[in-house]
Amino acid sequence: YFNQDYGPGQYRGIYLQDNEHVREVFTSWMKPFDDLGMTTIGSQSVGSTDHIPFDRAGLPAFQFLQDRVGGTGGHTNLDFYDTIPIEDIKKNAVIVASFVYHTAMLDQLLPKKKK
């Protein structure tokens, strides 16, 4: 499960949710996006987002690391369509599509983290 829940900012990486088994895979998938700044892999587990129930159920679940965009995001009354940085959203769409494609093309499931 790949999640974007931190507003419309550009992707800069992904959190592993304490699942080190996917580091090498994600590193290779991110390589084509170095020029977009998609270079960071955070090993920590982040919470308060929509991927948490999947993670708790034992399914691989990850949150993209994003730029914070002032005046948007955070599920507030300031979340207006006209404040979305369109170029960031276009880049994010390509990156998430690539991650989903690569996941679908794996010969086996993404590895689960050890409990």
Domain range for 91 is: 2-66+78-105
Q: How far apart are CA 94 and CA 77, in angstroms?
A: 28
3-class SS at 12?
Answer: strand
At 21, phi and psi to the nearest 5? -65, -20
Instruction: Specify the number of domains making up the chain.
Output: 1
Q: How confident is the model at residue 61 (pLDDT cuts 50, 70, 90)?
A: very high
If one compares 100 and 115, the residue with the highest pLDDT of the two is 100
pLDDT 10s digits, 2-56: 998 877 889 999 999 999 999 999 999 999 999 999 999 999 888 778 899 999 9
Q: What pairs with residue 3 in β-bridges?
A: 63
pTM to 2 decimal places: 0.89
In a domain, 113, yes or no: no
Calculate the CA 32 to chain-centre distance: 15
pLDDT of residue 70: 67
- Domain membership of residue 114 (yes or no) is no
CA distance 12 to 37: 6
